[in-house]
């Protein structure tokens, strides 16, 4: 049942292991395809992505920065990068990029909503939940899904802090879910999780 939430937290740490320059190259290729960049634009966008990938990595490595200082610097770098993009892209390309980002956000939100609903419905079927219990599980899933997304998008937290926070959220999620279930339902839920874990190996 926790697979969706655990996957989100796993993605957080997997993303942090990707080489910044490799990520920058992927971003450039994606923009080239989405915006039909010409060769001059492609080279310019590539240089911008590499430049700011290096700057962002330097901010991450700077252990002298406080959480707030790191957040401020990352925000400033993001704004500078966007400004640099805008100098390279045409008005139509800027509008297309903004529309694409908006559409991606809507799709992501829709997927998360379906995932929340499907998860609660599976629990209802597997544990014989009442409609009231199912409704509560949906609310819990939505709440913690939003918390995990916020954590995933927080570029200011150190890797170890992210891991600690993700673990804390998983424990809170389990406690909230347990509070909705009866003793028998909770025991069955734990048994099902243990069985799925065994099947992975």
What does the pLDDT look like over 90-139, one tens digit per residue? Answer: 999 999 988 888 888 777 766 766 655 578 888 888 899 999 999 999 89
pLDDT value of residue 151: 82
The Cα 132–Cα 152 span in angstroms is: 30
Q: Please calculate the CA angle 13-19-6 and round it to the nearest 5 degrees.
A: 15
Residue 4 confidence (pLDDT) above 70: no
Q: How many other CB atoms are found less than 10 A from the CB of residue 116? A: 21
pLDDT value of residue 157: 73
pLDDT value of residue 11: 44
Convert the pLDDT of each residue in 57-83 to its tens digit.
999 888 898 877 888 899 899 899 999
pLDDT value of residue 8: 44
Mean pLDDT of the chain: 83
Residue 184 confidence (pLDDT) above 80: yes
Q: Provide mean pLDDT across the span 168-195.
A: 91
The Cα 45–Cα 35 span in angstroms is: 11
Q: Provide mean pLDDT across the span 30-50.
A: 95
pLDDT value of residue 54: 92
Buried b (16+ CB within 10 A) or exposed e, 64-75: ebeeeebbebbe
Please name the residue that has the structure tokens 């800027």. 94
Max mean pLDDT range (2-16, 90-104, 139-153): 90-104
- How many residues in total does the chain contain? 201
Q: Provide mean pLDDT across the span 132-157.
A: 85
């Amino acid at each position: 049942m926790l697979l969706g939430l655990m996957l989100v937290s796993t993605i957080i740490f997997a993303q942090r292991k990707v080489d910044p320059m490799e990520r920058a190259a992927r971003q450039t290729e994606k923009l080239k395809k989405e915006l039909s960049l010409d060769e001059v634009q492609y080279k310019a966008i590539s240089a911008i992505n590499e430049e700011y990938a290096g700057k962002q990595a330097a901010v991450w490595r700077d252990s002298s920065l406080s959480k707030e200082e790191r957040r401020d610097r990352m925000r400033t770098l993001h704004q500078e990068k966007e400004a640099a993009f805008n100098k390279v892209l045409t008005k139509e390309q800027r509008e297309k990029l903004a529309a694409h980002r908006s559409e991606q956000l809507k799709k992501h939100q829709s997927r998360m909503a379906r995932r929340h609903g499907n998860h609660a419905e599976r629990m209802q079927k597997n544990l014989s939940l009442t409609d009231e219990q199912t409704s509560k599980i949906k609310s819990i899933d939505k709440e913690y899904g939003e918390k995990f997304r916020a954590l995933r998008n927080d570029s200011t937290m150190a890797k170890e802090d992210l891991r600690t926070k993700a673990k804390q959220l998983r424990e809170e999620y389990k406690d909230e879910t347990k509070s909705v279930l009866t003793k028998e339902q909770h025991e069955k839920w734990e048994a099902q999780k243990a069985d799925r874990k065994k099947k992975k190996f």
